[in-house]
Amino acid sequence: MAEDARLLRDVLHDASWRLLESPALALEARADGGALSEAEAQAEADREARWLMAAVLDVAPGELGRLLSVGDRVPAAAQERIEVAARRRAAGEPMAYCVGTAPFRHLVLKVDRRVLIPRPETEIVVGEALRLTASHPGGIAVDIGTGSGAIALSLATEGRFARVIATDLSDDALAVAAANAAQVVAADPEAAPVEFRQGADLAPLHGVRARVIVSNPPYIAYNEAATLPRSVRDWEPTVALVAADEGMARYAAMLAGAHELLEPFGWVVFEVDARRAQRTAALATMAGYQQVQVVRDLTGRERVVLAQHAPA
């Protein structure tokens, strides 16, 4: 009913207060860099509350500011969604899971606890794959361990590929990626078709000849899992985070088999843990790849390894 609508600023105040009083978020702040002052904590709670409300209401942050300034009201149903999201965030759940979406390059993707939350550093992986293939339209792009579909769908919409194949070991993750693909295709009918296949590493790709193979695989060593931030360790899927052989197992498996799947002079593009970037590059060189390069992210950390398949 109309009388149940409340002023947007009052709903924002309630959400901010709930986040400010959260023991879980206070602990998260201390783990990430020490206790916040009272003013800093209030500013952080206000910022998070605005992000949360903008996402739930599906408006840009700037538009939220305008709605606040004109005294807009929030219907009861939207109030309930905001309250539920704020309670989840106050319990320490990552923001993207609380609101059900995460931005990635030009896309807004559905995410939940079945998939990792897309991160800005992975956008660099996509950028490198697009750069390496920009002069040669057509061909197949492959995304190994697609999760939410962030890499595959970015390649499909921004690249010039004939098609994209995305794989994942998890049927649950593939369900999320397929839902995102349906949304992307509806919004961009010019996107390259995306095919999803279930399986580990390169196993689902028999007979494929790809122009580029891209992956953000699990790369945390098992003995490092306990040191991850609580917001990652306690909420995101472990199977997408950790790998055997000190985090190197997935790279070794993919580099061993990618020669058979790449076109002549095709590329592999991997996101890597900065601590293992040089080890991954050395592994690619030993496996017979050429033009092996390590690319740094915006913080200066070694984040991406590129390697080219050169036919014998």
Domains, the chain, ranges and CATH? 2-99 (1.10.8), 112-308 (3.40.50.150)
For 209-222, what is each residue's pLDDT tens digit?
A: 999 999 999 999 99
For 66-121, what is each residue's pLDDT tens digit?
A: 888 888 899 999 999 999 999 999 999 999 999 999 999 999 999 999 999 999 99
State yes or no: pLDDT of 1 exceeds 50.
no
Report the alpha-carbon distance of residue 104 to residue 111 in Å, rounded. Answer: 11
For 48-70, what is each residue's pLDDT tens digit?
A: 999 999 999 989 888 998 888 88
Per-residue pLDDT, 31: 57
Amino acid identity of residue 76, one-letter, is A
For 131-185, what is each residue's pLDDT tens digit?
A: 999 998 999 999 999 999 999 999 999 999 999 999 999 999 999 999 999 999 8
Residue in the structure block whose two tokens are 């092996």: 292
* Residue partners of 165: CB distance under 8 A and separation at least 6: 140, 141, 142, 143, 152, 194, 195, 196, 197, 205, 208, 210
Per-residue pLDDT, 124: 96
Report the alpha-carbon distance of residue 184 to residue 165 in Å, rounded. Answer: 15
